[in-house]
Structure 1
Amino acid sequence: MQFHHHGYVSSDPRMEEASGTGINRPETLPDVMDVLIIGSGPAGVIAAAQLAKFPNITTRIVERRPGRLEIGQADGIQARSVETFQAFGFAERITAEAFHLTEMAFWGPDSDNPSNIARSSVAPDDPGGKISEFPHLIVNQARVLDYFAECARNAPTRLTPDYGLEFQTLTVDEDCEYPVTVTLRHVGGEKDGQERTVKAKYVIGCDGAHSRVRKSIGRQHIGAVSYHAWGVMDVLANTDFPDIRTKCAIQSSSGGSILHIPREGGYLFRMYVDLGEVSKDDNGQIRQTSLETIIAKANKILHPYTLEVKHCPWHTVYEVGHRVTDKFDDVPPGEEGSRTPRVFITGDACHTHSAKAGQGMNVSMQDGWNIAWKLGHVLSGIAPESLLDTYSSERQVVAQNLIDFDREWSSLMAKPADEFDSPQDLANFYVKTAEFPAGFMTEYQKSMITGTTEHQQLAAGFPIGKRFKSAKVMRVCDGNKVHLGHHATADGRWRIYAFADSARPGTDSRLATWAEWILNSPDSPVVKYTPDGSDLDSLFDVKVIYQQPHGEVEFGPGTPAIFAPKVGPFQVTNYEKMYAVDPEVDIFEVRDINRDGAVVVVRPDHYVSQVLSFEDVEELATFFDGNMRRSAR
């Protein structure tokens, strides 16, 4: 964490100074705004936290509830989400209070006595940290929302939710400065039932599976339920089941299945209890299943073990449904480019599935971050409006892949034990597909912000379109071992990593020539697009990683100025742009980076956009010319 460059800070450094629209921010919802976010679930709060970083953008978030969420339904936090928390500055704190999933136990019918269950295998969650350096967590959804809300509240715009306002409908008129007219209704309080009309340039619908925003723009939720029901309960209980503090997939011979999830705090746990097939003419009656029935079914599946529930703060019954919306914005299919999308939908509003793969909250957050940084760039004048077309095209593919995966996983969980070819089939599928539920199989295709794989061989470990997978390096200025990717905070900046050629630092080299070009050439994106009067690294965070060990790299007269920019009102040097290899974990080896050097361009949301050589400056310039604008406010 870097601070003090704007003056001495003795209070919480996570609270940034209010600026722009955060100065004298109106307490009540204004009549007009740049962005209106509907719903303060995972997608809504991350979008708010990101947009709050853009001081000159007026963003508001409305929520039907009277206050913060107290009991969340989602609780699984995949490693990609923890990476995201790191970018927003609270990974360490939420990790400390969460339950860490390190393995999964698989239980099936005992071969000697099939009426009992027995442990068949245990699979490590991410052996050796091969997928990510971050853990797989369980924590209450409400706490995730709290942390993002804190980020938004501490950001320059001092963004906080407007509670007690329910979305009714919207219309779009492109001829207006604020094209989207939104009708809201007060819920509770002195104004209960009263309607309010506001206008916005853009609206983000984060209002759940029954989204009114989705209906207002005519989008269709395509798919169906699977006619299989599950009872879910968070409980405090006494039991003799030995793996009660381990994640488990439990399959009985005749009583169905349980997905068991230990919760944070050491005592609470969640069980997804198989209630079996549901007839097509059930008309929702299965959802009336009592808690007592769910507990009884759980005891039947757990036999010979018993479960004595002492307290249940939350339970529900749901039927597995798999649906994806036909498009994630308000521009009809086939009409992209004819007008700017003004309304976007995220999370459950555009994809619904079972909860058993732990994907709902995780994928929703990536939806919200994806559209938020893009809106931030467009509204700040950094990028053209055409950037917004990439939201639906990118995230719809991710949602469909999620549905396909979840359909297979939920079907396996509901499959009777005697129908598997081997008792290990479920465990094998879990291990084989581990990278997908961890959130690391997203791979964006070629677009204005994602390049081709023409030069991929220069940095094979950073696949184009996939998230930037961090590795350890040594910071030159202080000798600290750090993860390179952990410094990519959610500040809306592009990252450009220059992995140096083998020449000795400070000498003439291919890196030095490139560094001179990106600092001074009129074709350089840094020169062309950095706003006038802004810090050199205000839009592009350019870092260098040398092949030499820490002791052979130092600041001096030969240090390229792009790697030692002056920042803040006092124009002091930022020393944290230069890195050397960690001799124990050489990033050039573990990420298969060519020893002749490579340039890796990374989007504000951590996804790799380009891999180029130091000589490909024309290609680098052309890439940013395709997704940026000269004027920025």
Structure 2
Amino acid sequence: MQFHHHGYVSTNPRVLPAAGPERSEALPDHMDVLIVGAGPAGMIAAAQLSMFPNVHTRIIDRRPHRLEIGQADGIQARSVETFQAFGFAQEITNEAFRITEMAFWKQKPDSPGEIHRTARTLDDEHGVSEFPHLIVNQARVLDYFSEFMGRSPSRMKPNFGYEFLGLEVGDGEYPVAVQLCDVQTGEKRTVYSKYVVGCDGARSGVRKAIGGRLEGKSANHAWGVMDVIAETDFPDIRLKCAINSKYGSILHIPREGGYLFRMYVDLGEVSEDDNGQVRSTTIEQIIDQANNILSPYTLDVREVCWHSVYEVGHRLANKFDNLSDECPEPRVFITGDACHTHSAKAGQGMNVSMQDGFNIAWKLGYVLDGRSPETLLRTYAEERKEIAKNLIDFDREWSTLMATPTEELENPNYLEDYYVQTAEFPAGFMTEYQPSILTGGKEHQDLAKGYPVGKRFKSAEVCRVADANPVHLGHHATADGRYRIYVFADLDGARAVEWAEWFAHDPDSPQNRYMLPGDEDAMFDVKIIYPKLHTDVDLNQVPSIFFPKCGPFRVSNYEKVYSVLPESSIFEEREISEQGAVVVVRPDQYVAAVLPLEDTVGFQKVFEPVLKG
């Protein structure tokens, strides 16, 4: 990490200098953004907006304090990539349980009442990410986002103990009137905001307030879920397992800490006239069913940390914002479980919800900071509704397979094969945004085949020229709200030099049209990667735009110039053309465009509909 450019630092360098107007800890009457719900979607949205100190953001939750026991626990690799941008990927990985394999258990052909292991598969056989698949308490994820907010320039903190009652959208500077109740005192009050983001779960009051509804149906299948500490002779208790026996199925998930684990226990089909009676299934009944499924092994539960019963449902909100004829620009948005619900067995709920929050937050930051027109906010629903639909379709198939007896599958290994073949989807890497004002076309995709336009920027190792350190290029993309521009130089570097001169000096280039006050790279984080070894790069010949002046002392940043490594070339790994290329990456880590170095007009067009000149 970089610091000292504002002067010598001997304290925690992760605590950024405070900026923006002073704000009281008490919830005010007026604000720019009110986030309702301090779950994963709400906390990542707040964390991203905390990096826009001139945008007054508040986040509320009806709980009186931080979450203590989280229901979600699966952290896919795409989420860990995102955590890297917020500065805590390494810390949370160190305390989490890391999934490396999955074991599959089925009933013995010669003894149907007993199970045996039939396969073990690698969790990430194809190496879709350098980051792992983790299991960790949702509460810890929220804690890390809270710490990030507290160290941010705005010093944001959640306001706990406020229940959302309703809202009305009117006119004026703060058009959204939000009715709240202080949970402790019972006092009702109205606060006013420019925008509201509803992150308040499947029973979302914000969704109801904008006339939204969840559409879909239940799969009429119930599961008991329990986090327990137990003694057992089941040999794969510390492996993720899919278990299918004559008595039903279990999805088994080891938890962090070495002793705790979670089991999703099949409770069978639910009749249409059940009216929720299955939810009264006791923990003792869930444990008994788990023991039936695990036979000949036994489970002696010593402590139940948490348990629940739920029916699988796949539902999608009919709207993700309040856009209408009466409200031509959206003012209220919903995220996460408020707009999509599904089973927990694909490990997608928290992960997709966080990407919802990340998506809307940087866009709100840009609009409220004066960088972008309000039309940018329409892209939230356009982008995320399609992703939610894809998620529900995938989860419907996966949860159905989990509950299907082996003898009813078209082949006995179908579940294992499906798990391996579709690994990229649950890992979070199949998201692909379609062409829009934010995402360009693929007419120049051949210049950088390894960076598909609309998909997340997949990092690769490079060498930082100034200090000869091997680093991951994408790991320097922090959640600071900037666009990333990666200039992959051509073989002799001539095109890259011409591009750099244009970007630095032409008054119509984005660098000059959209410059923000402060450091020279306050709007765009621009890096160059050379297709040669660091010993062959002469820093004095590198264009000055790649050494932006930073801080009050106007000192050069030397961490923008990279080369290939002796043992690996990012140009080969990501199939970068010898002609070079410019790869533009959005603040939420998705590729916005791939362009030739000489196409400066096309480069300008990437930003014209998004940014204000």
TM-score when normalising by structure 2: 0.99
Structure 1 Cα separation of the partners of residues 320 and 77 of structure 2: 25
- Provide the residue aligned with 1:97 in structure 2: 95
Report the CA distance between 1:300 and its aligned residue.
0.3
- Provide the residue aligned with 2:571 in structure 1: 588
8 Å CA contact 1:186, 1:194 repeated in 2: yes
Which of 289, 300, 317 is matched with 1:325 structurally? Answer: 317
Report the CA distance between 1:584 and its aligned residue.
1.3
Does residue 505 of structure 2 align to residue 512 of structure 1? no
| Other structure's SS at 2:354 match | helix
Letter in 2 for 1:150: E
- Provide the residue aligned with 2:105 in structure 1: 107
- Provide the residue aligned with 1:200 in structure 2: 193
8 Å CA contact 1:18, 1:157 repeated in 2: yes
Report the CA distance between 1:157 and its aligned residue.
0.6
8 Å CA contact 1:120, 1:423 repeated in 2: no
Structure 2 Cα separation of the partners of residues 625 and 437 of structure 1: 34
| Other structure's SS at 1:548 match | coil
Does residue 80 of structure 2 align to residue 82 of structure 1? yes
Which of 527, 542, 545 is matched with 1:543 structurally? Answer: 527
- Provide the residue aligned with 1:444 in structure 2: 433
Q: How do 1:251-262 residues align onto structure 2 when only pairs under 5 Å count?
A: 251-252=244-245, 254-262=246-254
- Quote the RMSD (CA, aligned, Å): 1.0
Instruction: Deviation per CA, 1:104-142: give whole Å up to 9, x if none.
Output: 000001122221100010010013x62000000000000
Which of 289, 306, 326 is matched with 2:298 structurally? Answer: 306
Structure 2 Cα separation of the partners of residues 623 and 522 of structure 1: 16
8 Å CA contact 1:108, 1:423 repeated in 2: no
Instruction: Deviation per CA, 1:474-518: give whole Å up to 9, x if none.
Output: 000100100000001000000010000001x6xxx1110000000
Structure 2 Cα separation of the partners of residues 397 and 79 of structure 1: 21
Q: How do 1:264-303 residues align onto structure 2 when only pairs under 5 Å count?
A: 264-303=256-295
Report the CA distance between 1:177 and its aligned residue.
0.6
Q: How do 1:527-566 residues align onto structure 2 when only pairs under 5 Å count?
A: 527-531=512-516, 533-556=517-540, 558-566=541-549
- Provide the residue aligned with 1:611 in structure 2: 594
Does residue 412 of structure 2 align to residue 423 of structure 1? yes
Report the CA distance between 1:196 and its aligned residue.
1.0
Instruction: Deviation per CA, 1:396-424: give whole Å up to 9, x if none.
Output: 00000000000000000011122123221
- Provide the residue aligned with 2:39 in structure 1: 41
Moved more, 380-389 or 110-119: 110-119
Does residue 307 of structure 2 align to residue 315 of structure 1? yes
Structure 2 Cα separation of the partners of residues 288 and 76 of structure 1: 26
Letter in 2 for 1:341: P
- Provide the residue aligned with 1:15 in structure 2: 15
Instruction: Deviation per CA, 1:364-404: give whole Å up to 9, x if none.
Output: 00000000000000000111110000000000000000000
Report the CA distance between 1:161 and its aligned residue.
0.6
- Provide the residue aligned with 2:611 in structure 1: 628
| Other structure's SS at 2:531 match | strand
Does residue 210 of structure 2 align to residue 217 of structure 1? yes
8 Å CA contact 2:25, 2:157 repeated in 1: no
Instruction: Deviation per CA, 1:528-561: give whole Å up to 9, x if none.
Output: 0012x321100100100000111101311x2211
Structure 2 Cα separation of the partners of residues 567 and 161 of structure 1: 32
- Provide the residue aligned with 2:464 in structure 1: 475
| Other structure's SS at 2:532 match | strand
Structure 2 Cα separation of the partners of residues 16 and 534 of structure 1: 15
Structure 2 Cα separation of the partners of residues 152 and 327 of structure 1: 29
Report the CA distance between 1:4 and its aligned residue.
1.1
Letter in 1 for 2:512: V
8 Å CA contact 1:106, 1:248 repeated in 2: yes
- Provide the residue aligned with 1:238 in structure 2: 231
Which of 127, 141, 147 is matched with 1:144 structurally? Answer: 141
- Provide the residue aligned with 1:56 in structure 2: 54
* Unmatched segments (≥5 aa) in structure 1: none
Structure 1 Cα separation of the partners of residues 35 and 528 of structure 2: 37
8 Å CA contact 2:106, 2:116 repeated in 1: yes
Runs of 4 or more consecutive aligned structure 1 residues displaced over 6 Å after TM superposition: none
- Provide the residue aligned with 1:575 in structure 2: 558
Calculate percent identity across the aligned residue pairs: 64
Structure 1 Cα separation of the partners of residues 265 and 583 of structure 2: 46
Does residue 511 of structure 2 align to residue 526 of structure 1? yes
Letter in 1 for 2:181: R
* Unmatched segments (≥5 aa) in structure 2: none
8 Å CA contact 1:203, 1:342 repeated in 2: yes
| Other structure's SS at 2:102 match | strand
Structure 1 Cα separation of the partners of residues 132 and 359 of structure 2: 23
Does residue 3 of structure 2 align to residue 6 of structure 1? no
Report the CA distance between 1:345 and its aligned residue.
0.2
Matched residue pairs, number?
613
- Provide the residue aligned with 1:155 in structure 2: 152
Letter in 2 for 1:180: V
Structure 2 Cα separation of the partners of residues 273 and 400 of structure 1: 26
Report the CA distance between 1:17 and its aligned residue.
1.3
Structure 1 Cα separation of the partners of residues 43 and 220 of structure 2: 32
8 Å CA contact 2:316, 2:340 repeated in 1: yes
Letter in 2 for 1:582: L
Structure 2 Cα separation of the partners of residues 545 and 113 of structure 1: 61
Structure 1 Cα separation of the partners of residues 16 and 291 of structure 2: 52
8 Å CA contact 1:50, 1:490 repeated in 2: yes
| Other structure's SS at 1:95 match | helix
Report the CA distance between 1:293 and its aligned residue.
0.2
- Provide the residue aligned with 2:69 in structure 1: 71
Instruction: Deviation per CA, 1:159-218: give whole Å up to 9, x if none.
Output: 101110000000001x31101000000112xxx211010000000000000000000000
Structure 2 Cα separation of the partners of residues 473 and 181 of structure 1: 50
Does residue 398 of structure 2 align to residue 409 of structure 1? yes
Structure 1 Cα separation of the partners of residues 443 and 160 of structure 2: 49
Which of 473, 478, 488 is matched with 1:499 structurally? Answer: 488
Letter in 2 for 1:472: E
- Provide the residue aligned with 2:182 in structure 1: 186
Report the CA distance between 1:327 and its aligned residue.
1.6
8 Å CA contact 1:566, 1:572 repeated in 2: yes
| Other structure's SS at 2:195 match | strand
| Other structure's SS at 2:539 match | coil
Letter in 2 for 1:431: V
Letter in 2 for 1:155: S
Structure 2 Cα separation of the partners of residues 291 and 103 of structure 1: 28
Report the CA distance between 1:303 and its aligned residue.
0.5
| Other structure's SS at 2:435 match | coil
- Provide the residue aligned with 2:373 in structure 1: 384
Letter in 2 for 1:426: L
8 Å CA contact 1:168, 1:182 repeated in 2: yes
| Other structure's SS at 1:114 match | strand
Does residue 161 of structure 2 align to residue 167 of structure 1? no
8 Å CA contact 2:447, 2:576 repeated in 1: yes
TM-score when normalising by structure 1: 0.96
Structure 2 Cα separation of the partners of residues 420 and 371 of structure 1: 41
Moved more, 40-49 or 12-21: 12-21
Instruction: Deviation per CA, 1:601-628: give whole Å up to 9, x if none.
Output: 0000000000000111001112211110
